[in-house]
Amino acid sequence: MSGESGPVSRRVKFAADGARSATLAALDRQPGGHVLRNRLFLGLLVIAVGIALVGLAAILIDAVAKGQGRLGFDLLTKSTSANAERAGFREAIVGTAFLMGLVILMAVPIGVSAAVYLEEFGSRERWWNRLIELNIQNLAAVPAVIYGILGLAFIARGPIGIGQVLFTGALTLTLLVLPTVIIASREAIRAVPPSIREGSLALGATQWQTIWRQVLPAAMPGILTGVILAVSRALGEAAPLLLLGAFTFVTFLPNVFEGGFTALPVLIYNYARRAQEGMPEVAAAGIIIMLAVLLLMNSFAIWLRNRFEQKW
Amino acid sequence: MATQDLSAAEAAGLPARRLEAQSRRYGEKAIKAFLAACAVLSVITTTAILFSLLTPSIGFFQEVPLTEFFGSTQWFPSQAFFGVLPLVVGTLNVVLWSMVFAIPIGLGAAIYLSEYAPRRVRKVIKPVLEVLAGIPTVAIGFFGFYFLVPLLRDIWPGDFLGGPPGAYMAGAAALCVGLMIVPIISSISEDAMSSVPGGLREGAYALGASKMRVALRVVFPAALSGIVASIVLGISRAIGETMIVLMVAGNLANISLNPVEIVQAMTAYIGITATGDIATGTVEYDTIFAVGVLLFTMTLVMNLISIRFVRKFREVYE
């Protein structure tokens, strides 16, 4: 059982243990087999956790083992190249940085606004609010490659039609992470107790003043944590960008609205697919860079959560 | 109440008056409208997805009859064979074996974390599993192709299941996808198990049940809807996973559920075709969208089932 059992449940537990041993004694049955089976079960559970942890460790160790020989600052300055000696990630890193910046600029205001609407205004009695909610839950689980099709047929071509440029990638990734941002922000907003709102409203603040000056500041750590986790998902996402032309070799720094672009995970895939000697090592080094950035972001999110988490 | 007041006021011959702020606060209304528009954007996104999938697909199905798409067993778009079955079976192969791996591991981890783990251990393992969930699938695919497949080939016992695997292998992709799914299953299931009220456990203990019995016969059934939701969501993620199957399972349409063989999943087909050099606007290119419609439909059904089950356990215990 969980560690936080209060005195009452602890008393029940003692009573249960007592009753059990009394019953066993009365029936004169040895609890040996029982104990053994329980131990075996616990052993299996620990093995299950162990396999998951070993898998995680193996992914990390394998990447470091293969890529560490190639790791160096020159990867940041060397251009995209089919030659393993000269290959680097300059354009991909700049592309990913642009993408992430744009995703944050678009996804955060839109996502938080949608969350505020759903939590503070949208009554669940109305069918359209329930529809929006269901829709967001589904969108959160739509495969990334489908967002790529959306980007290709709706943003690059079709109604918006701005071509396969970096901004198309940013818009697609924004739509991809929006559901995650909305769901995380809603949870953070919901955790702010109603008494805060009631106090503010009772002092004569309007609903928006209450949200802007009380609810959002209080929910900010939770929202930021969710945003960082969502953005870190976008950072590693390659599948939708494959459909948006990011797979082609780009040897110039990207422009937001014209010309081709690439991104770190896509270039890693591109390098990994090349069989030439030395290429897998370059890809592995790219994975190390990507994982290091992700680890930094995740640690920052966890730090934020622990530093600013409020107990109401 | 309000209607009573109103009628009383009307009866007295006075104009009806309601309690309302003097200013109509158009600013507040504008803000609310903006917020609502942001929420509605999600509905527009879904509509846009449907538009993107269906518009080219309609053209595709005018050229290729539905009976051929679903009935034929040959998938060679370059030679005008458009039977989608091999891709569906390819996806099923990976999903099936990934679930064989991920369900026991994920549920085992969930039971351990919810029922057995001391608080300090849980505080370490939970974030570590979250990190696993956050690893980009390109990195897992790289691991699968350059580490797991060679390793499996080296240790393969003779001609078990039809011989050692080649460079691509559905089973290795399934293991990688499974590794990616484990944190999804374990975290949602653990949520469901922890929300089972302690009273149920204590009642069972009072009747002399052992800890294993309580975990398997009390907590597990009580949390079943959450567990089912986690598994269904895991299946949905496995169906939609692209980079791992693209890099590890191969790209050869093949009707087989054998984990040793090379297969092509639906997502892998979309990925490889989009990065290839097929001219846009051709029937061959439009296969991307037709396969996409099928993929979207399959995951949509899974997601709706999962959402329904999650609601159920939330309703029961929260």
Q: Looking at chain A, which residue has its C-alpha nearest residue B114?
A: A2
Q: Which of B193, B187, B214, B212 is nearest to B125 (CA)?
A: B187
- B25 in any annotated domain: no
Q: Looking at chain A, which residue has its C-alpha nearest residue B28?
A: A208
pLDDT of residue A29: 54
**Which DSSP string do the residues of A276-289 spell out, in sequence order?**
STTHHHHHHHHHHH
Can you give the CATH number for the domain in which B159 is found?
1.10.3720.10
Structure tokens belonging to residue B120? 């300090």
How many angstroms separate the CA atoms of A309 and A293, rounded?
24
pLDDT of residue B24: 65
User: Is the predicted pLDDT of residue A181 greater than 80, yes or no?
Assistant: yes
pLDDT of residue A308: 77
Residue B194: list chain A partners with CB under 8 A: 2
Mean pLDDT of the region A267-285: 92
What is the pLDDT tens value at each position of chain B, 318 positions in all? 344 444 454 555 555 554 445 556 788 889 999 999 999 999 999 999 999 999 999 989 999 999 999 998 999 988 889 999 999 999 999 999 999 999 999 999 999 999 999 999 998 898 888 888 889 999 999 999 999 999 999 998 888 888 788 889 999 999 999 999 999 999 999 989 998 988 889 888 888 888 888 999 899 999 999 999 999 999 999 999 999 999 999 999 999 999 999 999 999 999 999 887 788 888 888 999 999 999 999 999 999 999 998 888 776 665
How many angstroms separate the CA atoms of A227 and A182, rounded?
9
pLDDT of residue A3: 43
Neighbours of A82 (CB within 10 A): 12
How many angstroms separate the CA atoms of B184 and B190, rounded?
10
Please answer whether residues B257 and B169 qualify as being in contact, where contact means their C-beta atoms are separated by less than 8 angstroms.
no
Residue A46: list chain B partners with CB under 8 A: 112
Please answer whether residues B272 and B46 qualify as being in contact, where contact means their C-beta atoms are separated by less than 8 angstroms.
no
- B121 in any annotated domain: yes
Percent of chain A clearing pLDDT 90 (strictly above) = 58
What is the count of structural domains for chain B?
1
- B256 in any annotated domain: yes
Print the domain residue range for B298: 70-317
Neighbours of B309 (CB within 10 A): 22
Domains of chain A, each with CATH number or no CATH:
7-69 (no CATH), 74-308 (1.10.3720.10)
φ, ψ for residue B85 (rounded to 5)? -50, -45
Q: Do B236 and A137 touch (CB under 8 A)?
A: no
pLDDT of residue B213: 87
Mean pLDDT of the region A271-279: 89
- B155 in any annotated domain: yes
pLDDT of residue B177: 97
Mind listing the pLDDT tens digit for each residue in A51-98?
999 999 999 999 999 999 999 889 988 998 888 888 999 999 999 999
- B4 in any annotated domain: no
- B134 in any annotated domain: yes
How many angstroms separate the CA atoms of A73 and A269, rounded?
20
pLDDT of residue A264: 95
Distance of CA B248 to the CA centre of its chain: 20
Interface predicted TM-score of the whole assembly (ipTM), two decimals? 0.88
Nearest to A272 among B142, B296, B299 (CB): B142
Nearest to A290 among B139, B288, B307 (CB): B139
Which residues face B82 on adjacent strands?
B75
**Site from A146, A168, A176, A185 to mutate, B interface, most B CB atoms within 10 angstroms:** A146
User: Is the predicted pLDDT of residue A35 greater than 90, yes or no?
Assistant: no
pLDDT of residue A292: 93
Give the minimum alpha-carbon distance from B125 to chain A in angstroms, rounded to a whole number.
9
pLDDT of residue A6: 53
Q: Where do runs of H (alpha helix) occur along chain B?
A: 2-11, 26-63, 66-71, 85-111, 119-134, 137-143, 149-155, 170-194, 198-206, 211-213, 220-222, 224-240, 243-244, 266-275, 283-317
Sign of the Cα torsion B249, B252, B257, B261 reads negative
pLDDT of residue A236: 92
